[in-house]
A and B are shown apart, each in its own frame.
Chain A
Amino acid sequence: MSEIDARVVRYVADLARIGLTDDEVERFTSQLSVVLDAVGKLREIDTADIPPTASVLPLANVTREDEVRPSLPLEDVMRNAPTRDGDLFRVQTIIEERPEERVRG
């Protein structure tokens, strides 16, 4: 059996920033155990001297000239924002302002 249990599912969902209900945790734990058992069969293969393949493409370090080009029209981009402040995306406060920094600034 694989080592996945409800605690691990909660932990990994937290890393992935996905809120799960208790019902989902229970269901995913049993479903993912089955899937992990199936993929765990890879351990049977001896891969000691085999390099990993990240991409099948025979290309590396594809570069291009750094040219100035027009960007997308700002309004076309911003219209999809859930909330905005003019041309800025509005989000919740992530850094609390501390009074001493204001003094120094």
Chain B
Amino acid sequence: MAELPGSIREAGDLLRARRATAVELAEVAIERAGVDPYNAWLLVSAEQARAQARAADERIASGDASPLCGIPWACKDIIGTKGVETTAGSKILDGYVPPYSATVVERLEAAGAVMIGKTNLDEFAMGSSNENSAFGPVKNPWDTSRVPGGSSGGSAVAVAAGEVCFGLGTDTGGSIRQPAALSGVAGMKPTYGRVSRYGVVAFASSLDQVGPFGRTVEDIALVCQALFGVDPADATTMPLPSEDLCRDLERGVKGMRLGVPREYFVKGIEPGVERAVRAAIRELERQGATLLDVSLPSTDHALGVYYIVQPAEASANLARYDGVRYGLRVEGPDLVGTYKATRGAGFGPEVKRRMILGTYALSTGYYDAYYVKAQKVRTVIKKEFDDVFARVDALVTPTSPTVAFGIGAKTNDPLAMYLNDVFTLPVNIAGLPGISIPCGVSEGLPVGLQVIAASYQEATMFRVAAAYERATEHHRMRPPAARAA
């Protein structure tokens, strides 16, 4: 076997028909990951992968095969893995070996999926380009002089380059959907509270969610099926009855009402991106959906809310890196001096910027003006989404205002970098589910269509995305380098 099947579904069919083994799939993935030219991987855990693959083959032989059994996957290195180094892309955690696995890792293991290794990311998931990794940037397989998006760029690229069948990322302001769009794969953020955050290195706790990258909408739904559900170890998971997330994949969009928010087609959007997204929306209309022009008037303020709430929460979460119990320690003259030396040496520039911004927003005299104000505007933004979802089944928007940009193009301008996420971060502020799927190319680079649904309406979101995917070939696009390989 020279390359992996094109989807989880295809791989599962091969495995169950005994035309391939999990060990064979794992060997292909291990080899591809080992020679990956994009710096997508921080660690390939080959021995553990082989052991998991052998166990998966036994389960398949016994007839007990879940859809993910034997399927090779990539884990963003901010998700804790027992006995396998987890760095969060930071020097401050270099060498850290978690004593337990995140709930999401345990769930995939229980489903028989085969973890190939840990993927590169922006340090502590802070970034939109993957250039903030302490272990070097990830390159976009469509054009290696460009970024793959971030922060989950490694997992996005591992899937785009055909090195694994699916990947996990985390999405705080777009960190799954934006790299999915820029790398030409599907990527999805679940409703806040759907997926356990236990064992995931905390960034901004009221915004973070774990979600999948895949080649098809069905694959995304299959992974979500394994991830979703209440976790006693995470009090912010919603207790909801289990449901079949694939139930509406074939239903089509005829009769559905899709909202097109006018604030998502304004300044800063590249003409080629707008063209591809408008064409995708017309395709959904052609299939029988009714389009509604809707307004989310406070969209412009989402960036401000996000860049107060997120760094504020991060500054509290990252206080734990003190050089005492794990990670880097740089000795200073006294304990406080050690904290400062450790954090000064261990954190990269973007993490330091956000720690300072967040601490500032929470400090005496600024707390009400910034932090409380942002939380109030968060209420306004959430209500605008709630009101719109009383009239529409889903929203369709661009995922990112631009295609993949050049490595180094925005590194000295934090605000320009933050603007990459203007269409994705409102979804985190309101806690909604969002998916990005490929909808064409502009200047030879992938463009993503974002579908947003009301809270817990992932099945409706998948219904829209699957209808588009069925009628088009964009999800079959492969980057030139991966095609040649």
Residues of chain A touching chain B, judged by Cβ–Cβ distance below 8 Å, are 4, 8-9, 12-21, 24, 27-28, 31-32, 34-36, 38-43, 45, 47, 50-57, 59, 62, 64, 72-73, 76-77, 79-83, 89, 91-94
Determine if B352 and A18 form an interchain contact, defined as CB atoms under 8 angstroms apart.
yes
Q: What is the CB-to-nearest-CB distance from B231 to chain A, in angstroms, rounded to a whole number? A: 11
Q: How far is the CA of A66 from the CA of B41 in the complex (A)?
A: 40
Determine if A13 and B356 form an interchain contact, defined as CB atoms under 8 angstroms apart.
yes
Verify if B418 is at the interface (C-beta below 8 Å from A): yes
Determine if A62 and B235 form an interchain contact, defined as CB atoms under 8 angstroms apart.
yes
State whether A53 and B379 are in contact (beta carbons under 8 Å apart), knowing that A15-B363, A20-B352, A59-B238 are contacts in the complex. Answer: yes
Chain B residues lying within 8 Å of A93, measured Cβ to Cβ, are: 335
Q: What is the CB-to-nearest-CB distance from A85 to chain B, in angstroms, rounded to a whole number? A: 13
Q: How far is the CA of A9 from the CA of B356 in the complex (A)?
A: 7
Main secondary structure on B side of the interface with A: helix
Q: What is the CB-to-nearest-CB distance from A26 to chain B, in angstroms, rounded to a whole number? A: 12
Chain B residues lying within 8 Å of A62, measured Cβ to Cβ, are: 235-236
Chain A residues lying within 8 Å of B372, measured Cβ to Cβ, are: 52
Greatest chain A CB density within 10 A among B97, B334, B375 is at B375
Determine if A55 and B377 form an interchain contact, defined as CB atoms under 8 angstroms apart.
no
Determine if B431 and A56 form an interchain contact, defined as CB atoms under 8 angstroms apart.
yes
State whether A19 and B344 are in contact (beta carbons under 8 Å apart), knowing that A28-B352, A77-B99 are contacts in the complex. Answer: yes
Determine if B359 and A12 form an interchain contact, defined as CB atoms under 8 angstroms apart.
yes
Verify if B349 is at the interface (C-beta below 8 Å from A): yes
Q: What is the CB-to-nearest-CB distance from A79 to chain B, in angstroms, rounded to a whole number? A: 7
Determine if B378 and A35 form an interchain contact, defined as CB atoms under 8 angstroms apart.
no
Please, what's the 1-or-0 string for B432-451, where 1 marks a CB less than 8 Å from any CB in chain A? 00000000000000000000
What are 17 A-B interface contacts by the 8 Å CB criterion?
A21-B344, A27-B349, A32-B360, A35-B307, A35-B414, A42-B370, A45-B301, A53-B382, A57-B192, A59-B238, A80-B95, A80-B96, A80-B99, A82-B324, A89-B325, A91-B335, A94-B334
Verify if B340 is at the interface (C-beta below 8 Å from A): yes
Interface residue count for B (Cβ, 8 Å)? 70
Chain B residues lying within 8 Å of A89, measured Cβ to Cβ, are: 324-325
Chain A residues lying within 8 Å of B418, measured Cβ to Cβ, are: 35
Closest residue of chain B to A50 (Cβ to Cβ) is B376
Determine if A42 and B301 form an interchain contact, defined as CB atoms under 8 angstroms apart.
yes
Partner of A73, one of B99, B235, B319, B327: B99
Greatest chain B CB density within 10 A among A12, A17, A47, A64 is at A17
Verify if B265 is at the interface (C-beta below 8 Å from A): no
Chain B residues lying within 8 Å of A14, measured Cβ to Cβ, are: 340
Determine if A17 and B379 form an interchain contact, defined as CB atoms under 8 angstroms apart.
no
Q: What is the CB-to-nearest-CB distance from A5 to chain B, in angstroms, rounded to a whole number? A: 12
Chain A residues lying within 8 Å of B415, measured Cβ to Cβ, are: 34-35, 38
Partner of A51, one of B97, B370, B376: B376
Q: What is the CB-to-nearest-CB distance from B134 to chain A, in angstroms, rounded to a whole number? A: 16
Chain B residues lying within 8 Å of A59, measured Cβ to Cβ, are: 193, 235-236, 238
